[in-house]
Structure 1
Amino acid sequence: MTIRLVIADDQAMIRAGLRLVAETAPDVDVVGEAADGEQALAVTRRLRPDVLLMDIAMPRLDGLGAARRLLADPHPPKIIMLTTFDTDANLHASLRTGVNGFLLKTSPPEQLIEAVRAAASGDALIDPAVTMRVIASFATRHEPTVPPELATLTQRELEVLRLLARGLSNPEIAKELGIGDATIRTHVARVLQKLGLRDRVQAVVFAYEAGVVRAGQRERPC
């Protein structure tokens, strides 16, 4: 299946570079571009792509505002936010918006394609640097609140949640715990179901706000 992708960024050179990277994947077709949030709304609603790759900081309407409007539509696309994280003070607000991933503009090309594929399949991908340096930063501004749903997790599921929140992919979690990929997929699905979460993005927020992981902890355990 071909993934239809729209790219939204106010810098033409950035859009060109993202298009170049995306089109190296045989299953990704860049069907449109936008230079600001208002254009992103119009182009996305007209072309109905599977995935929208969108910068947070854009003129007229920023990426966060555009994402909120699009996700209120009956059949919204999957949305991946692009960030420089040093300048995107509102990045943490995007976590509650319902987007399907976060990437740094400095992320390697293969990670961009992986994020697009993950979003298209209903999963989510967060750049580990965003996970630790931004999400942890905002989450620890408040005392952790332990929700009762956390007690429903088994010890193994809690381990999976911790590793997931630190930015590890399913194969990396499987390797860390010494179990198979299929088993990890099952554990992740059960964690999301028990906690009433939609995807990995919401799981990261939950883990930090519940105190399951905290700022300053290593991204990848030894």
Structure 2
Amino acid sequence: MSDSIRVLITDDHSIVREGLTLILETAENIEVVGEAADGTVALQLVAEKQPDVVLMDLRMPGMDGLTAIQHLQRDYPEVAVVILTTYNEDDLMLRGLQAGAKGFLLKDTPRDTLLDTIQAAAKGESLLNADVMGRLLVHTQAGGKRPSIPKESPLTERELQTLRAVAEGETNKGIALQLGITERTVKAHLTSVYNKLGVDSRAAAIAIAAQQGLL
């Protein structure tokens, strides 16, 4: 089990925790090291079990998921957080990504997507669902929280093209092919984007850029 990805599941519904555990137990390289029903217990278990990835519900009694993510980002930045979400939590999801979550999973997500997302998060990568990201970007431009469009973008046109491709769910290889550049150049553009926006992940970059009207 030494090479297994250690996962902690945090959700206030036992049926969700049990269902995810049953699915993850079928994966050879994933080990469920604990379950938590709220953010406070999750933080305790992170200290005790040292998971690689935490699956985090956002709406829970006691300490909610967003608060727990903020604590984890401050105290355990090496632990990757993946948000567990439903279709009516767009605003919370954006805030969670901005707080440092690596990505998100719908609670009814297919098994392969669940496993791929956990594996990507464990590597420090973000695996984003293009359909849901598209809905999130529309959400930031609708209703009463329309982002203000900056007079001058802090990002270059190439950096914006790269970030837009990321928001569409493209991999570094796909972005390189799409823009006619090398994967190393894609990584350099993303590093520059992270530095300019003050973030450290694709998910957070998209959340910030969307809220600032850059996308």
TM-score, length of structure 1 as denominator length = 0.80
Distance 1:18 1:175, change over 3 A: farther
1:142 aligned partner:
147
Give the % identical residues: 39
Counterpart check, 1:159 vs 2:161:
yes
- Aligned in 2, Cα 1:183/1:111: closer, same or farther, shift over 3 Å? farther
Q: Letter of the 1:72 partner, please give it.
A: R
Residue 7 of structure 2 is matched in structure 1 by: 5
The 3 A distance-change label for structure 1 pair 16 and 172 is: farther
Q: Distance in 2 between matches of 1:45 and 1:211?
A: 38
Give 1:186 deviation, angstroms: 4.9
Displacement of 1:211 in angstroms is 3.5
- In structure 2, the residue matched to 1:54 is 56
CA contact (8 A) 1:51 1:79 kept: yes
What is the one-letter code of the residue matched to 2:194? Answer: L
Aligned to 1:168: 170
Report the Cα distance in structure 1 between the residues aligned to 2:71 and 2:153, rounded to whole angstroms.
Answer: 32
Partner residue in 1 for 2:121: 119
Paired residue for 2:86? 84
Partner residue in 2 for 1:216: none
C-alpha distance in structure 1 between counterparts of 2:29 and 2:164, whole Å: 32
Q: Is 2:114 aligned against 1:95?
A: no
| Distance in structure 2 (CA, Å) of the matches to 1:33 and 1:48 | 13
SS in 2 for 1:68: helix
Question: Which residue of 1 is the match for residue 21 of structure 2?
Answer: 19
1 CA distance for matches of 2:206 and 2:152? 14
Equivalent position amino acid for 1:158 in 2: L
Give, as a single letter, the amino acid of the residue that structure 2 aligns with 1:49: P
TM normalised by structure 2 equals 0.82
How many aligned residue pairs are there?
210
Contact 2:147 2:213 in 1 (8 A): no
- State the secondary structure of the residue aligned to 2:87: coil
Please state how far the C-alpha of 1:182 moved relative to its aligned partner: 5.7
Structure 2 partner of 1:38:
40
Distance 2:91 2:160 in 1: 30
- Are 1:118 and 1:124, in contact at CA under 8 Å, matched by a contact in 2? yes
CA distance in 2, matches of 1:146, 1:121: 36
Q: Which residue of 2 aligns with 1:109?
A: 111
Where structure 2 has 5 or more consecutive residues not aligned to the other structure, the ranges are: none
Offset of 1:185 from its aligned partner? 4.2
Cα–Cα, structure 1 residues 147 and 97, in superposed 2: closer, same or farther, change >3 Å? farther
Unaligned runs of 5+ in 1: 214-222
1:87 and 1:195 map into 2 onto residues whose CA distance is 24
Q: Kindly state the Cα deviation for residue 69 of structure 1 after the two structures are TM-superposed.
A: 1.9
What is the alpha-carbon distance in structure 2 between the residues aligned to residue 23 and residue 61 of structure 1?
27
- 2: CA distance between counterparts of 1:99 and 1:212? 20
Partner of 1:204: 206
TM-align CA RMSD = 2.6
Inter-CA distance 157–90: structure 2 relative to 1 (3 Å threshold): closer
**Equivalent position of 2:65 in the other structure:** 63
